[in-house]
Structure 1
Amino acid sequence: MIFCFTIPYGLILVVGGVIGFTKKGSIALLAGGSGTGFLLLLAGYLSLKAFEK
């Protein structure tokens, strides 16, 4: 049930990366936050699908 934590945390990281980019204009914030967030969302999704089986 790790997806209960990875999906919301991934969304927080994606939103944080976008907010950091809009406030500071930093590509590093966008890539770091959103990239890591998308990886966590993918991991959470795969974990959810494995749990359903």
Structure 2
Amino acid sequence: MQKGVSLYEVQHLLGHESFQTTQRYAHLQPDAHKAVLGAWQRLDSPLVIAA
């Protein structure tokens, strides 16, 4: 995630069935949310978070 990889990509790489599982561990990485948002903005695509 420090290199701009999205949480969704991390989810699939780690084999998490649920995005919430990946999010649960994302807080362990400093500035994880900023990195994800920055990477998403570079994709020039709207960020849609499923409820």
TM-score (normalizing by structure 2): 0.36
Which of 1 and 2 has greater Rg?
1
Q: Which has the higher helix share?
A: 1
Greater relative contact order (CA < 8 Å, ≥ 6 in sequence): 1
TM-score (normalizing by structure 1): 0.35
